Amino acid sequence: MKILILNGPNLNMLGQREPAVYGRETLEEIMGRLASEASRLGVEMICEQSNAEGALVRMVQDAVVEGMAGIILNPAAYTHTSIALRDAIKGSGLPCVEVHLSNTHAREVFRHKSLTAGVCIGQIQGFGGYGYVLALQGLYEYLKARPS
């Protein structure tokens, strides 16, 4: 089982950027913890990050061709703006879990609406980097329960 872990804009700056909001953990540290959980579950994970909307769309499209079973997505700021990313997720037909480090509903009003959540099987937010582990566990259980 292969899962794409897709991270959007500015997540490459984790650990430095607004630590009061996003924590001090780097993206590499979060992905390292996630890799341990993926290994425990017997899941192969492919991790990608881009600041470019078009690159994220292409990675979602490529996930189908590359035989991914599902996607864990932190669309970051594109959560609130990207119809293109929403359409790519929906068009892929792959189950997707949206993840956010912070609780977007406890932040600025413009962050309260997610354009991508409606085409995802679930959303996890507010648990910092551990949210990725929760997303992987949820997606794994969802995929196991699906009829072949």
Tell me the pLDDT tens digit for each residue of 119-133: 999 999 999 999 999
pLDDT recorded at residue 29: 94
The mean pLDDT of 71-85, rounded to a whole number, is 95
Active site residues: 22, 100
Overall domain count for the chain: 1
* CATH code where residue 25 lies: 3.40.50.9100
Q: Which domain holds residue 73?
A: 2-145
pTM for the whole thing?
A: 0.91
CA distances from 73 to 20, 22, 138, 147, 148 (A): 22, 16, 13, 23, 24
Cross-sheet strand order for the sheet of 2-7: 44-49, 2-7, 70-74, 96-100, 122-125
